[in-house]
Amino acid sequence: MTFFDRLRERIRTTGGVLAVGLNPDPARLPDDCREYDYPRRAFNRRIVDATYERVAAYSVAPAYYADPKGWTALAETVAYARGRGVPVVLDAKYAEIPNPDADLLDSVDAVTVSPYLGRDALAPVLDRDLGVFVTCRTPNAGATDLQDREVTDDSETGDRMTNHNDEGEKTDDEDEKPTIAGRAAELGASWAADAAADVGLLVGGDGDTVETLRERAPNRPFFVVGGARNDPEVAAHAGPASGENEGVGLVETSREVLYAGETAGRGRRRGQDDYAAAARQSAGRLVGQLNRHR
C-alpha cells in the first residue's frame, strides 16, 4: 500500500483527519516524566497511548530534538507510534537530501520538504516510496513577508510563470495574481505526475487561505498545520473533494493535546492519569470539531 492508501485507511478507522505533533517542550513536561533517562520519550509514549485510537497520524519535528538525548527520544518516539499502527510524518521541511538525520527517512511514513531549491534537490525523496508534503505556506505571522507576496508577470521580457494543474497541464488564470504560496502549490502538485512518492502539500492559515490553495491544487492531499483549534473550517479543504485522493488529508495540532493535562487535577499534584485523560479528551474534542466541517 502507498502512503495515501495507508492514510485513507487510518482516516476511516479513526473517523477523523486529526494529526498530533509530538514535539514537547522539555520545560513543560510533568514532574514524573523528568525522572526518566529520556523524559521526552516517556512523555510522548504517554500521549500516544492516550490518543492513538483517535488520531489519523502523528508528526515529529527534528528541530525539537536537536540535542544528544533528543535524537534517541525522536527515533524511539517514531518507532513507538508506528508500533501502534499510526503513520508518522517527519516535519523537517528539508530543502535538500541527504541531511544529517536523513536516516530517519527509512523509519517514517512521510516527510515535509521545501520546494525552494527545486525538484532535483529533492529527488531522493520524490523518487522513493514515501509520502512527501511540499511546503507552500506556513501558519506563522511572518508568512506574509514572502509567501503571501503576489507574483507579477513581465510579458515584455518573457519572465512569465506558467500555471499547471495536478496533471502538469497548463491552466489559465490571467485575471488572478497568484501569491508565491500559490505558485509553490502548483509546482508541488506538478511534481506528483512523475514522482514515485505520494505528493501532497503542507499548508497553513485560516479557512479562506487554505481554500484558495485548494483551488491551486485540487487533487493533492493537504497537511494543514496551525489550524485545528484556531479555525477548524480548514478541515473542509484538507482532502480533495473528488478523485482518487478524495477525503485524504490531515489537520495537525500539538499544544492543545500535549499540554491539556496542565490544567487537569488543578489544586493537587497532577499525575500520569490526569495527563493521559486530558490528552485523550482534547484529541476527541478536536476530532469532533474538525468533523463538523468535513
Read off the C-alpha cell for 219: 487533487
Q: Which of 69, 93, 170, 177 is catalytic?
A: 93
pTM above the 0.75 mark?
yes
Neighbours of 104 (CB within 10 A): 19
| Nearest of 290, 19, 271, 14 to residue 131 by alpha carbon | 19
Note whether 62 and 23 are within 8 A (CB): no
Tens-binned pLDDT, residue by residue, of the chain (294 aa): 999 999 999 999 999 999 999 999 999 999 889 999 999 999 999 999 999 999 999 999 999 999 989 999 999 999 999 999 999 999 999 998 865 556 788 899 999 999 999 999 999 999 999 999 999 999 998 999 999 999 876 544 444 444 545 555 545 455 567 899 999 999 999 999 999 999 999 999 999 999 999 999 999 999 999 866 678 999 999 999 999 999 999 999 999 999 998 876 554 455 567 888 999 999 999 999 999 999
**What is the DSSP annotation of 11-70?**
HHHHTS-EEEE----GGGS-GGGGGSSSHHHHHHHHHHHHHTTT-SEEEE-GGGG-SHHH
Q: How many domains does the chain have?
A: 1
Residue 61: domain span: 3-291
Rounded to 10 degrees, what is the CA torsion of 112, 22, 247, 130?
40
Domain CATH number, residue 94: 3.20.20.70
Active site residue 177: no
Reduce the DSSP state of residue 246 to 3 states and report it: coil
